[in-house]
Amino acid sequence: MTHLPFIIASYGLFIALALYLSAGAALRLRTARLKLLSLEPAKPSSPGKKSVS
Amino acid sequence: MTRKTRRLWLVIICVACFGTAAALMLRAFSSDIVFFVTPSQLTQNAQPADRTVKLGGMVVANSVKREKHGDTPVSSFEVTDGQSAVTVNYEGVLPDLFREGQSVVAIGSMKNGIFIASEVLAKHDETYMPKEVAEALKKSGKWDPRFGPPPDAASWNSMTVKDAKKSLLPPPAPAAQ
Amino acid sequence: MFLHSVCETNKPLSASHSSASRLSSFFHRYANPGRFLRLGKVLQPWLTWPAIALTLTGLIWGLFFSPADWQQGDSVRIMYIHVPTAILASAGYAALALCSVLSLVWRHPLADLAAAEIGPVGACITALCLATGSLWGKPMWGAWWVWDARLTSVLILFFLYLGHITLIRAFDDQQRGYRAAAILAIAGAVDLPIIKFSVQWWNTLHQPDSITLTSAPTMSGSMLWPLALSMLGISLGFAAIVLARLRASVMESRIRSLLSNQRRHNGDLS
């Protein structure tokens, strides 16, 4: 392949960025979900019942 | 008029004003925004000898002369926009994409009617085709890359590498004895 | 289970919702955080998995099975990353500007959160577009960077993204930050047509678009297919990442309001 380092660098940058962004998003989603669960434990849903204590 | 519609109109008017201002500014500066001047622009408006300009155009077929002075390659070629041509001298390694019929941008200045370039950039066009397709087009006589851009894209962009290879094969030889 | 608990609270995210709730506008249907989280959870796998599958297919096809260009050789394979990121850089900014209009005019609370999440992802994509363009330009043109209209206008787009990211977090009063950043995003949208038409309005080193609406693509079909796949895949990936961040952001604002409620509650007791 001609200019192989340039091609590898491009694909490498893309993969690194894709992993960084998606791992970051997944972790943040997980943390938020767990934190919310600990603050607001799931209750049996009954209409009219206020969930904010 | 509700507050929401008033805000909407406010946004629309702001965007229109801002867009007009930007458009006027770009119009006023358009001669500075262009990346290069063409050979005919360069020959019509004589430039002061020490002023650096970027000259863009197509490399004329059969005009490229390459020599070697010691270790540094020296080349000379003509650049044209179809109306006039300017001879360019360049000392250094030309980019890979440099060839006759390619568009290039040379950065340098005019000296005694010859453009002395300090840098040459290759400008590739918007066509992308496999080598085999290019070969097939060349062989069928539809295109000579040294004289300009390829023919209408619709005539070749659905050609597969297999088709192209088939057309490159020599015609079936008469049966051997 | 978790979703039920969120959905029960029909409190909107922002206080300015009272006037807006009278409008049964389409945009406001998902201003309710519980409804948005429910929809987001359903939508997420439909974005994530096709994004991964299409991107991998497109890039592997482009890297190993598509033909080399007749004059650029194998370097043309950088296109399968550069072109999708370039299109997404502009499309992401258009989405940012749209969110800003929704925020300024309709005071949509989710639009503010979405703008805050699109900004960093869009800036990353624009940086990747500039970097791969540079990596492509060096072997082909002979220069890492030139100041032509296309490259400069994309660099300006990158700085607009950076400005938006900074501005939206610059104020102690979050609402003022949203307002200021929205104005910047809308004003910056002027750059989008400049990027698009720069290669037609002025002569540039960057080549004109190969794929246009008006004429046949000046690209061999054997390269167009992997490009189309990676373009679709990377676009879906962008949407998936923004959606995941937006869902997290909605949950975080819910957490903040719960914590401040708790604190107020405890303060009343003491």
Mean pLDDT taken over chain C = 85
Note the pLDDT of residue C11. 44
**How would you class C57 by CB atoms within 10 Å of its CB: exposed for 0-12, middle for 13-18, buried for 19 or more?**
middle
- Tell me: do B70 and B21 sit in the same domain: no
Q: Where are the alpha helices (DSSP H) in chain C?
A: 2-8, 17-20, 33-60, 79-106, 109-140, 149-168, 174-188, 191-201, 221-269
Rounded CA-CA distance C146/C49 in Å is 38
What pLDDT does C2 receive? 39
- Dmax over CA atoms of chain B, in Å, equals 94
Total residue length of chain C: 270
Residue of B nearest to C72 (CA): B97
Whether C120 and C165 have beta carbons less than 8 Å apart is answered as yes
Q: Does A34 touch chain C (CB under 8 A)?
A: no
Cβ neighbours of B23 (radius 10 Å): 13
CA of B38 vs chain C CAs: smallest distance (Å): 10
User: Is B168 part of a structural domain of the chain?
Assistant: no
What average pLDDT does this structure show over A41-51?
50
Flag whether B42 is in a domain: yes
**The pLDDT of residue C207 is above 50:** yes
- Enter the tokens of residue B77: 């070629």
Looking at the structure of chain C, the number of domains it has is 1
3-class DSSP state of C147 = coil
The residue segments making up the domain with residue B16 are 3-32
Do both B49 and B102 map to the same domain? yes
- Whether C159 has a pLDDT exceeding 80, the answer reads yes
Q: Is C47 within the bounds of a domain?
A: no
C5 located within any domain = no
Most confident range, picked from B31-45, B118-132, C212-226, C234-248: C234-248
Owning domain of residue C78: 71-207+223-261
At B131 the three-state DSSP class reads helix
Amino acid identity of residue C24, one-letter, is S
The token pair at C178 is 């949203």
Q: Which residue among C71, C101, C205 sits closest to B35, beta carbon to beta carbon?
A: C205
B74, B151: one domain = no
Across all residues in chain B, what is the average pLDDT? 82
C50 belongs to a structural domain: no
CA angle C172, C17, B11 (to 5 degrees): 75
Output the domain CATH number for residue B42.
2.40.50.140
Residue of B22, B105, B131 lying closest to C205 (CB–CB): B105
How many other C-beta atoms can be found within 10 angstroms of the C-beta atom of residue B86?
22
Q: Same domain for B25 and B38?
A: no
Chain C residues within an 8 Å CB radius of B18: 187, 190
Under a CB-based contact definition with an 8 Å cutoff, are residues B126 and B150 in contact? no
Arithmetic mean of pLDDT, C112-141? 94
Chain C CB contacts of A12 below 8 Å: none
Query: What's the mean pLDDT in C43-57?
Result: 95
For residue A42, the one-letter residue type is A
Which amino acid appears at position A53 of this protein?
Answer: S
* Banded pLDDT at C27 (limits 50, 70, 90): low
Q: Which residue of C has its CA nearest to B120?
A: C142
B40: in domain: yes
Into how many domains does chain B fold? 3
Q: How many CA atoms lie within 13 Å of C53's alpha carbon, on the beta-carbon side? A: 6
Instruction: Judge whether B64 and B75 are in contact, CB under 8 Å.
Output: yes
- Using a CB–CB cutoff of 8 Å, tell me whether A16 touches chain C: no
User: Domain check: are B71 and B44 in the same one?
Assistant: yes
In a domain, B140, yes or no: yes
The secondary element (H helix, E strand) that includes residue B55 is: strand B53-59
- Annotation: binding site of B: 124, 128
Listed by number, the residues of chain B in 6-25 with a beta carbon closer than 8 Å to a beta carbon of chain C are 7-8, 11, 14-15, 18-19, 22
Average pLDDT score over residue span B75-98: 87
Query: Which residues on neighbouring strands pair with residue C148, listed in sequence order?
Result: none
Q: Is residue C191 part of a domain?
A: yes
Beta carbons of C2 and A36 less than 8 Å apart = yes
Among residues of chain B, what percentage have pLDDT more than 90? 5
Residue in the structure block whose two tokens are 């409190």: C11
The reply to whether B91 and B22 lie within a common domain is: no
Q: Answer yes or no: is pLDDT of C162 > 80.
A: yes
pLDDT of residue C192: 93
C162 to chain A, minimum CA–CA distance in Å? 17
Shared domain for B101 and B84, answered yes or no, is yes
Q: In angstroms, how far is the first alpha carbon of chain B from the final one? A: 94
Judge whether C230 lies within some domain.
yes
Q: Identify which of B78-92, C8-22, C50-64, C207-221 has the greatest average pLDDT.
A: C50-64
Pairing of strands B65-69, B53-59: unpaired
Same domain for B38 and B74? yes
Query: One-letter amino acid identity for C119?
Result: G
DSSP letters for B64-129: -EEEEETTEEEEEEEEE-SS-EEEEEEESPPPTT--TT-EEEEEEEEETTEEEEEEEEEE--S-B-
What mean pLDDT is predicted for residues B71-98? 87
Letter for the amino acid at B86?
V
